[in-house]
Structure 1
Amino acid sequence: MQRFVLTLQLRPDPSLVAEYVARHREVWPAVLDSLRDSGILRSEIFLHGFQLIMVLDTTDDFTLEHKAVMDQANPIVMRWEQEMAKFQAVDNAGNDASKRWIVLENVFRFAA
């Protein structure tokens, strides 16, 4: 299993943040299917102010690049990503949702 931790900044508008959170309480089934089909075993998003942290636990053969290719080929996922873009303070990514989230480097791990 692999773990990825990513971050993204939301637009600094409390009403948009509230809507983003509400939308993630009812993620479209086809979007959830695409996560599963790509090799994501577990996905969690945490919020602090306007900052998001996403944790992905994946199969050993999962890659973010392959997930991006799968997303581009799925019109429902692309529509979801277009709708999510209005909440995200990432204007330089254009239509490429895979460039919105930044992968964080693990600098410390403790395991008992």
Structure 2
Amino acid sequence: MSDEILAFKMQLKPGVVAAYKQRHDELWPELAEALRSAGIHDYSIFLDESTRSLFAVLKRRPGYPFEQLPLQPVMRRWWDYMAPLMEVEPDNQPKQWALPSVFHFAG
């Protein structure tokens, strides 16, 4: 079984790019472990500075409890910590817009 690749967009609020980057530069070790335990082994977030849109791409291994990640207390704390910086749902989960794949090159 091959990795699943997920891509999605999120949105920053004005004036928070530096804080967003700093918080991710200082990612909590317990959150990193929760991501690994959910099968995530490659996760990148890119910024379009002109729109403050974030573009995330993650790779996850099948057979891990990825669906349980939003229920983890550390994930909930992270969302609460990040909520002042981003557009969020009522439970502080970042609003996410799925990005369908339209091209992939594997050379």
Provide the TM-score with structure 2 as the length reference: 0.84
Contact 1:30 1:77 in 2 (8 A): no
In the alignment, is residue 54 of structure 1 matched against residue 56 of structure 2?
A: yes
**Runs of 4+ with >4 A deviation:** none
| Structure with greater proportional helix content | 1
2:9 is matched with 7
Is the partner of 1:71 in helix, strand or coil?
A: helix
* Identical residues among aligned pairs (%): 30
Q: CA deviation at 1:6?
A: 1.0
For structure 2, which runs of at least 5 residues remain unmatched after alignment?
none
Number of residue equivalences: 103
* Distance change (3 Å), C-alpha of 1:89 and 1:71: closer
AA aligned opposite 1:38: A
Q: RMSD of aligned C-alpha atoms? A: 1.9
For structure 1, which runs of at least 5 residues remain unmatched after alignment?
none
2:33 is matched with 33
Q: How does 1:99-110 map to 2 (within 5 A)?
A: 100-110=95-105
Q: CA deviation at 1:70?
A: 3.0
